[in-house]
Amino acid sequence: MGLERAFADEPAFVPYLAAGDPTYEASLSYVEALARGGADAIELGLPFSEPMAEGRTIQNAIVRSLDAGMTVERYFEFVADLDVDVPVVCMTYYNLIYQYGGSEAQSASDASGATASKGPRPFVEKAAEVGIEGFVVPDLPAEEAGPLRAACDEFGLDLVFIVAPTTTGERLDRMREQVSGYVYVQARLGVTGAREDVDDATEESLARLADWDVPKAVGFGIKTGDHAARIVGAGADGIIVGSALIDIVAEGHDNGDPAEAVADRLEAKARELKEGALRGESERPQPERT
């Protein structure tokens, strides 16, 4: 079902971009370039003004997108306009999901004096309508996720949870009960951002999740094809890459490069990362045959 199909045949490459960075049109072409480069699913960021789990790179992308006029409605148009044949996952913060539809309910209820009803359902309904297949919500831990999980079930969407190096015991169990699509394995402590090395925490996290029946995608800090190969070699079913791609978007924007040139660079980077993931699979230690 759903997002799991992105991981079905081979290690998946899942890129992240902030929708509308640096402009609506350029961003559309960037996401499509990543799909051409081999993306198996897209994590598409809906920018929130207070992105508490993101590093500087993604935060700057969010600022560029908001400055260029990104709104929740524009984001839904963006997804509808996208010409890609891989699943799109909406990555955003809970307040935007929670508020959607609330403002209309508010004006309708002003006359009656009743309190506006807020909640994730209208957002999920609209997301399903434009073709979004799942959510990653970094500030929504399993303890608070009940209403969103219920809405996802109602509309047939997946809800991805992030497992951190510090996640153990009961918290892990609570997530396991609610997760669907894939589990996002945070490779290290901290916020998003590209780094060179592979952390021991990654292998330990993968070992803790070994018997989960959803695919394990590792994110946070993956930068190169070799890096991707090592992560997949360590047992990941897929890799999630954001900051290393946004670096390309940001550099192109700062240098005033044409969008076509930036799209080409993104496509080449996507190819490198996807090939790295495939190489990692072939280099995995094979289980002994009997």
Partner 1 sequence: MSTDDAHDPKFGEYGGQYVPEALMPAMEELEDAYERYVLENEDGFMDEFRERLADFGGRPTPLQYAEQLSERYDTDVYLKREDLLHGGAHKLNNALGQVLLAKYMGKERIIAETGAGQHGTATAMAAAHLDMPCEIYMGETDIARQRPNVFRMRINGAEVNPVTVGRGTLKEAITETFRDWATTVERTHYVVGSVVGPHPFPKLVRDFQAVISEEAREQAIEQTGGLPDAVVACAGGGSNTMGAFAEFVADESVELHAVEAGGSSLEVDEEEGVAPNSATLSTGDEGVLHGARTKLLQDSDGQIMESHSVSAGLDYAGVGPELAHLVDEGRVTPANVDDDAALEAFHRLSQDEGVIPALETAHAFAYLEERRDDLGDTVVVNVSGRGDKDLETVIEETSERDLDIAPDLSVFERVGGGL
Judged by the rule CB under 8 A, the positions of this chain that interact with partner 1 are 48-56, 59-60, 63, 66, 71-72, 93-96, 98-100, 103, 106, 118, 138-141, 143-144, 161-168, 171, 186, 189-191
Helix, strand and coil content of the chain, in percent to the nearest 5, comes to 50, 15, 35
Q: Which residue number, 83 or 177, has a Cβ lying nearer to partner 1?
A: 177
Among 174, 223, 177, 181, residue whose Cα is nearest residue 198: 223
128/164 with CB nearer partner 1: 164
- Is 196 tagged catalytic? no
Nearest to 66 by CA among 53, 51, 88: 51
Catalytic hit among 4, 43, 267, 272: 43
Closer to partner 1 at the Cβ: 30 or 48? 48
Q: How far apart are CA 115 and CA 288, in angstroms?
A: 63
Q: What is the DSSP letter of 117?
A: P
| Closest to partner 1 by CB, 19 or 278 | 19
- For the bound state, the minimum distance from the C-beta of residue 48 to partner 1, rounded and expressed in Å, comes to 7
Least distance in angstroms from the C-beta of 218 to partner 1: 14
Q: Could you tell me which residues come within 8 angstroms of residue 68 by beta carbon, excluding any fewer than 6 positions away?
A: 20, 21, 22, 23, 24
Buried b (16+ CB within 10 A) or exposed e, 152-168: beeeebbbbbbbbbebe
- Of 54, 133, 267, 272, which is the active-site residue? 54
Distance separating alpha carbons of residues 240 and 194, to the nearest angstrom: 11
Q: Cβ 213 to partner 1, closest distance in Å?
A: 20
For partner 1, the closer of residues 44 and 266 by Cβ is 44
Active site residue 283: no
d(CA 215, CA 40): 13
Would you please indicate which residues are annotated as catalytic (active-site) residues? 43, 54
